[in-house]
């Protein structure tokens, strides 16, 4: 089974296997960290956070736990309507600044949604 690449910021499955092997061989957390070129705190957090309650560390299980924790589906802040999408595509092609586009969005779409425009609130 192919392992999908992840950011170098996170431990890879291969690094987790190496942590398990070295820990089984009796290496200290600092020695494992030096071998992997990681900080001792990262290795310690890995062993503590993704290990079992009884103290065992299983690398494939740990990788699965870490990957599940990493996935955080988020609801989009807004859902584009066809009109909004057309507006954005049209104005992003022009040399407008983000501030100009933002102002124009408020003027056009806040009034359509029945909300008062910022100028009407003053």
Residue that the structure tokens 């609130």 belong to: 121
Q: What is the pLDDT of residues 20-53, one digit of tens each?
A: 999 999 999 999 999 999 999 999 999 999 988 8
Q: Is the pLDDT of residue 94 over 90?
A: no
Q: Which two structure tokens, joined as six digits, stand for 37? A: 């070129």
How far apart CA 2 and CA 115 sit, in angstroms, is 51
pTM for the whole thing? 0.56
Taking each helix axis as running N to C, give the angle between helix 40-50 and helix 13-24, from 0 to 180 degrees, rounded to the nearest 10: 90
Q: Which two structure tokens, joined as six digits, stand for 95? A: 């040399």
């Amino acid at each position: 089974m192919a392992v999908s690449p992840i950011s170098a910021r996170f431990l890879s499955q291969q690094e987790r296997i190496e942590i398990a092997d070295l820990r089984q061989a009796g290496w200290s957390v600092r020695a494992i960290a030096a071998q992997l070129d990681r900080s001792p705190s990262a290795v310690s957090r890995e062993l503590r956070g993704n290990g079992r309650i009884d103290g065992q560390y299983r690398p494939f299980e740990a990788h699965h736990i870490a990957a599940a924790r990493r996935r955080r589906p988020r609801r989009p802040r807004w859902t584009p309507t066809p009109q909004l999408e057309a507006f954005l595509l049209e104005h992003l092609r022009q040399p407008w600044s983000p501030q100009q586009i933002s102002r124009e969005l408020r003027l056009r779409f806040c009034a359509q949604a029945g909300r008062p425009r910022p100028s009407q609130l003053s």
